Structure 1
């Protein structure tokens, strides 16, 4: 039996899109979206804040077939809010009134809405230390970094890690998490952001505008190179001098056109397979272009590491929940100039 908080509304506001294109051309504001029915292992979250990530506007290009997503798609995969209803098979990890943070899948209705339905397995408890805006900024970045550094990079205490894009929304979390886990961190960013990245814990800074990291480090220095900003071609080309033979190059940014059509998506997959085969045959550094997996338990584990290290989120800007303001948030994300995460305050 579903249990819910009293006096839930019948409808709620949401941002949505139904066809591919640019955010400014396809996003609309629905003032009366029906509240979803809470069934199975789902819980209903009253959303207080949601983040805007590049994946949100890249999906709008059309590379992921529309039949895999809702016909009316609400963008946003990062949310923080309060549980207001629990399905009949849920309630093992959260209860009504719990404050939570969630990394949603791209195949469901997203977080830029007043209420969002999520599977309980995706939910993590929000730390008391963080505001809802801070918590909403963290799920995708935290899970991506944890999987990149720990699962794929095999980070251990004392590992030497190069982080490209260290001042961005994902890069800032990478610096913090790597330091919390005992790594030596070299951050690559612009000189104007160097002090911010150093304050986050980086041991060294490389200003990419004046110095090429692949030429500065040529003695197989790194156990992990994590590229949060580019396709990593420059690091892969110099992998034998930049990284130890047992090292790992971990990427999260595919080619620009990978989400344009299903063909581009398949071609990108073939390119990744080729590089992984080269890595295996040459017994050199590993190559990984990762897709972030969703897991509430793992998210909670990674967040606890950050909280224990007093590593708080870096937020670039917070926007209001109106269509013009949401469009401005998307513009900021598309510009690639955010210093930290971009958040929309909803309640």
Structure 2
């Protein structure tokens, strides 16, 4: 059943969301089209850069992303408090980085005196724009329209490039956020494009590992983990691949943090990737990452989610108690994912 977006996105319930957009008409974001032989790999950069660029304008922070051949994933933190704290000038300055302002806005920004009528129009416009700055729909619309225009121009095509609606999942607790982050970052490993997380280009985990190893500066448009990536004190990677150097002094200006230490998240994605490559669950309790034990996540259930997270859950992800509250909140008797929640998240 299709649900109104207002029932899916409730910032009073959670600020965290996992969003997915897919192409139509056999369109490719990146990779090689097997039918035509045309290579679209350069498009991966379009979407990755646009995701982070929009975080400079919107009060929406990027926690994770992955760009695949015909779809992309992004995990976002909607910072309503940040938007409400902006003054009128800051709201207009942000918006006009992407869109043309009105004459009244230009007069205000230039310090010209406004009439009472112009001031009323300005205040209404600013409040409308302020709401857009923490709107998930406006963020995704601005992202998808930009990429669609570039792709259609390159293809010499007209018409729809994306499916009509992006899919969004409300992440109701830390367990759901952790499962979503790992699922998104491990997309290339799961698809067989990369063997290890540090080879999974155009994902947030790849960017963070590159910065941690000193190969590139940390992009501060990505949300930091708790304690930041510079706090990783142990070498990354299993013994089968040797060791990596850890970069020092990487900093980030964002106030909002992903609520896990980066080193424990790396341990988790590496452990999960090894199980994905082996195509079996085995004795998963042996050597299970400490973060799973700390959060009360069942290891075998977590590995199952790493393969089928998007299919298992509907518009919301969380433990069984939060999903029950979710069903009451939206006024339905059943919320997809209850069985998976009990199996993995408690």
Q: TM-score, normalised by structure 1?
A: 0.22
Structure showing greater radius of gyration is 2
Counting helix residues as a fraction of each chain, which structure ranks higher? 2
